[in-house]
Structure 1
Amino acid sequence: MIRVLLVDDQTLIRQGIAMLLELEPDLEVVGAVGDGRAAIEAVERLHPDVVLMDVRMPGMDGVTATRELRRRFPDVGVIILTTFDDDEYVFEGLKAGARGYLLKDISSEEMAEAVRTVARGEALIQPSIARKVVAEFLRLAVSAPAAPERMTPKSPNALTERELDVLKALARGMSNKEIAAALVITEGTVKTHISNILAKLDVRDRTQAVLKAQQLRLLEEG
């Protein structure tokens, strides 16, 4: 069973999500709280595998709570739930260590699968949100006064051209299946490339890989 903690300041939303997730045979909602500070206390007490975290809450917001959870409980996966008008939280949430980013209007099946994905240690960002992240990357790249030199094929840990293709697909929020179809390779090969990317960039998951790629200017064309 995958243990899930719900964090949202609206009782009706907590109850609704709990009812939907409890229909899944492999998911168990172990608790539901209304703010970030209560979330930290609940994680310490209930030991969930995944936390579904709202961003806009009174007291401690979701981004601050996510940052603290990642510091104190690095094995717990945090999925941030957001709405279309929460753009300013997207990039901050990823930097805080969230492994997933979902819009609240997704289906119960999509939410359940996202929980399973993050529980496996993988990261998941919806394509619509991934586009916002890439746009923010580009904005930062343009406004930054200076940036590290781009990794080249001669660098010790340089990515191959195919690994760069996979990395750029990750930045667009594509799943392993979608990447395999786009690059005409098997899903197993995609997983191998992702493992190599994580090792070479010295990061733990796909989200961190995209963030590191932006810092190293690997998402730039040419």
Structure 2
Amino acid sequence: MDEAGRVRILLGDGQSLFREAVRVVLSAEDDFTVVAEAGDAAQAIAEAERTRPDLALLDIALPPSGGVEAVLAITDRVPDCRVVLLSDQQDQSTLIRALEAGASGLLLRSCPLSDLTDAARAISRGETLIPPRMLGALLSELIRRRRRHDEARRAVVRLTRREREVLALLAGGADLDAIAGSLLISSETARTHIQNVLSKLDVHSRA
């Protein structure tokens, strides 16, 4: 916040008229100040580093690489900045990518501009902003992911000590010869261990 206690905001959107409309709405509030604007992802990242805002409102389709990539960079370089993405669609995969990138929520561009003020205040208080109609689907997806994670963990537990060593080497990018050399075993034995690992993890092929 600035010395007057106002939330400092960065606007990132490829449409200048939309940015102007949002800026007018936010600037009319006593507790907000727009400190920077950006028309593309690179500029948004640069302005975030320069101004160190409390909150960034970014278009999900911010050119050229998209708002999610900008979220990754901004949350990494300006950790105290909370980021909200604005989207034209209620797309579940987009929401999950945004949250995984570090966004504090997603807001539909079709919402009344006046709703932005409430959203900005909520995010500034540390809340996460999810469109109500997307919340049920999000929870279902998180439950499915947790189940898949639990299944994968149970599969790894079934591996022998040697197979876990092979799995670690595979995860590090080692090929058949590298695994054999690292574990001081023959290539044929290494191949057998690899096939056992893939079978127990239900992976059906390996190039």
Q: Which band: TM-score by shorter chain? A: 0.5 to 0.7
Distance 2:115 2:152 in 1: 37
1:73 is displaced (CA, Å) by: 1.2
Given the two structures, how large is their TM-score scaled by the length of structure 2? 0.64
Summarize the alignment of residues 28-43 of structure 1 with structure 2, pairs less than 5 Å apart: 28-43=33-48
> For 1:77 and 1:8, how far apart are their aligned partners in 2?
16
Q: Is 1:61–2:66 an aligned residue pair?
A: yes
* Gaps in structure 1 of 5+ consecutive residues: 150-222
* CA distance, structure 2, for counterparts of residue 23 and residue 120 of structure 1: 20
Residues 70-149 of structure 1 correspond to what in structure 2 (within 5 A)?
70-84=75-89, 86-141=91-146, 146-148=151-153
Matches within 5 A, 1:126-205: 126-141=131-146, 146-148=151-153
State yes or no: 1:26 paired with 2:65: no
| Secondary structure of 2:34's aligned partner | strand
Following TM superposition, by how much is the alpha carbon of 1:9 offset from its aligned partner in structure 2, in angstroms? 0.8
Distance in 1, Cα, partners of 2:137 & 2:15: 26
> 1:101, 1:129 within 8 Å by CA — same for their partners in 2?
no
Q: How many residues end up aligned between the 2 structures?
A: 149
C-alpha separation between the residues in 1 aligned to 2:123 and 2:73?
18
SS for the counterpart of 1:125 is coil
* Alpha-carbon distance in 2 for matches of 1:44, 1:6: 13
Between the two proteins, what is the percent identity of the paired residues? 34
Q: CA deviation at 1:72?
A: 1.3
Q: Is the 8 A contact 1:67 1:97 kept in 2?
A: yes
Q: For residues 86 and 69 of structure 1, what CA distance do their matches in structure 2 show?
A: 22
The one-character-per-residue Cα deviations of 1:8-27 (angstroms, maximum 9, x if unpaired) are: 11111111111111111111
The Cα of 1:143 is off from its aligned counterpart by 5.9
| Partner Cα distance (1:83, 1:59) in 2 | 17
CA RMSD between the two structures? 2.1
Choose which of 13, 21, 41 in structure 1 pairs with 2:18. Answer: 13
- In 1, the alpha carbon distance for the partners of 2:69 and 2:27 equals 28
Deviations 1:105-163 (A, max 9, x none): 222332112111222233222212323322432454566682558xxxxxxxxxxxxxx
The 1-side partners of 2:150 and 2:127 are apart by: 33
Residue 157 of structure 2 corresponds to: none
The structure-2 alpha-carbon separation of the partners of 1:147 and 1:115, relative to structure 1 and needing over 3 Å to count, comes to farther
Conserved? CA contact 2:53–2:81, under 8 Å: yes
Gaps of 5+ in 2: 1-5, 155-207
Matched residue type, 2:71: T
Of structures 1 and 2, the larger Rg is shown by 2
Query: 2:51 is matched with which residue?
Result: 46
